[in-house]
Structure 1
């Protein structure tokens, strides 16, 4: 099954909290970039959660973008440093032919990593941001979606397939990669004493989760925090990020929401219109800018259930009406006299 990916018809993206962004998240972004180069696309999207109301989401979305870099021209950002590291790695790789090196380096130099916040409106979700991207593609009717996401949120791929691919005729295909992070769970459970003893250079990149970094701030281990970010940010940005996380951890309420484990994938990817068994007929509909609901599919959306006998208030009213009708039908004794 082949898919015609182009710059104009492709959205390659991830969905993440990144609160805060860490070197572990850069591994995910690196996979986005690698996949974009494979399919000859020069931009990728990071759709970021807007949540900033508890101590597990201590920094604002705008601060995340400040750290990641709003576009490829911002030199002092994690995304820019990542691309430089990728170019250096290719340059030093003796197994790659020079002509292939030149092509890959050229594509990396032109790569644009675009972080986006979920719209700051009530009820908006990461799907709202994706919907806006699709809407802004105008008249293009063969849109290809490619999601790369961590295994803790793998079911988002199925949700996007159900909500967009199956309900929007403009979506031609959807594919995805689910990344495992085997080191993350053990490292984010380290105690204060264990964190004090650890050498950050020995920590696997995939282990740098947001929880791990927040714990460094929670325990006041600023030197360790600086060691984590010094390969990517200057000292001013590192200090700014530390203070923002510290402020959120100590001044925002506890996070009372429990994360539900991701469900196993139910679809086999890629899904391609006209080629995948899952295809279903859909009506012509579009995502509307600013709308948070998914497109309505008149042919395949079941009708809402309706009460035939009325609800509790209706039954009470009907009972009272029936009683009044009986009273009105009784003969008037005075009139018979």
Structure 2
């Protein structure tokens, strides 16, 4: 394997018995000259010259054949920093935050550096993607992660973190996946409404995966009152940030102040216009009415018409608020 970027040149070689100027059987081999890359004879000095229907044929035992020079350009994979965080104390009192940067991408990450309060000073560095920090209180803080790869390329990301963030609403049953994609039978998208019991939404988790090679980013929105209602926040993720295995996917929102008792919607919009493949994402859902205060919503026409199925299905999700 090649681990460094650059320009590389290769020549392939093989021991062959026959090289034909023309195709012996165009119906079987096509219209290009035919090169036979096998060794049938064990005699290195074997030689035979024949005049066939396609001209002179030379059979030379175990002669070496060399390909034209193959030119390969190996480029850099730019690193992309990403992390999730969670309140290490759960619903119990405490000020410890757990961080996980394993969703960062690069050819080879050699260093993770954490600036807990975004003051320009990296307080902790490690070759491992996980870390924890005790902030000492439940205030909000900006935390910056910088990753460095084996080529000394870097990338940073800053997020708002806060202790005492706890689960508010959750529906964790899962039976199968609902497609978020463009297809011949429609442009599919999904939404789930819920009623928060807290006065804030800090993040949500969706049980989902990518499939195939999506041509579009995954977008997750929080809206008020209906799937096309007031947009409160939106986050977008590239296909490389979404696992192809079923897992909980964290979406950190700017802390949203909400009214408990009001309907809010988690919306995963359809693929944008111009997408040609049917690859995309799947959001997990369960059969039956798993959550009484919300409904499963979907569209198959790009969002022109949303339909709800309140007793048949429920998307798999969690919401979090500040305790």
Question: Is the structural similarity TM-score above 0.5?
Answer: no
Larger radius of gyration: 2
Comparing both chains, which one has the higher relative contact order based on Cα–Cα distances under 8 Å and sequence gaps of 6 or more? 1
TM-score, normalised to structure 1's length? Answer: 0.22
More helix as a share of residues: 1
TM-score, normalised to structure 2's length? Answer: 0.23
